[in-house]
Amino acid sequence: MPTRTMVVAKRGELAVGTTKKFYLDCGGREVEAFVVNHRGEHHAFINQCRHVPMTMDWVENQFLTEDGCYLQCATHGALFEPATGLCIDGPPLGKALHRVALEWRGDDLIALCPTELP
Ligand code: FES
């Protein structure tokens, strides 16, 4: 599968405590993912819970708990650490969301297709 990349945000676009969904074309397969700005650091994950393979956001682009501390699956309420994707409460306890690698190229935040897809 060829590695594909895309610009998901510009520098300064995502305020701390906000998220943005995007779609990656990974070898002809569309992968839904999201990026979160957590305390100034950007992290991205495939938008699929580790309990049941469902999207995390019931309400479009709503991934964070009200206090902004955790990512939350809307289906059964599992909580995940934004920096690691690790589930710290809920049915998929101990499992982590599938990370999407990010890198900055100038002012562009680039997402890279994962080498393995769930
Ligand atoms: S589907 Fe996410 S916690 Fe059950």
- Say what the pTM is: 0.95
Strand order in the sheet with 102-105: 5-10, 108-112, 102-105
Is 56 in contact with 48 (CB distance < 8 Å)?
Answer: yes
Q: Is the pLDDT of residue 78 over 60?
A: yes
Task: Determine whether the shortest distance from the Cβ of 76 to ligand 1 is under 6 A.
Answer: yes
| CA triple 111-100-19, angle to 5 deg | 80
Q: What is the pLDDT of residue 116?
A: 85
- Tell me: pLDDT of 108 over 80: yes
Q: According to the model, what pLDDT value does residue 2 have?
A: 47
Residue with tokens 């999201």: 34
Contact 74, 52 (CB under 8 A): no
Q: Which residue has the tokens 């900055």?
A: 104
Ligand 1, residues 45, 46, 47, 51: which to mutate, most atoms within 8 A of Cβ?
Answer: 51
Instruction: Enter the tokens of residue 25.
Output: 């074309």
Q: What would the pLDDT profile of 15-74 be if each residue is shown by its tens digit?
A: 999 999 999 999 889 999 999 999 999 999 999 999 999 999 989 999 999 999 999 999
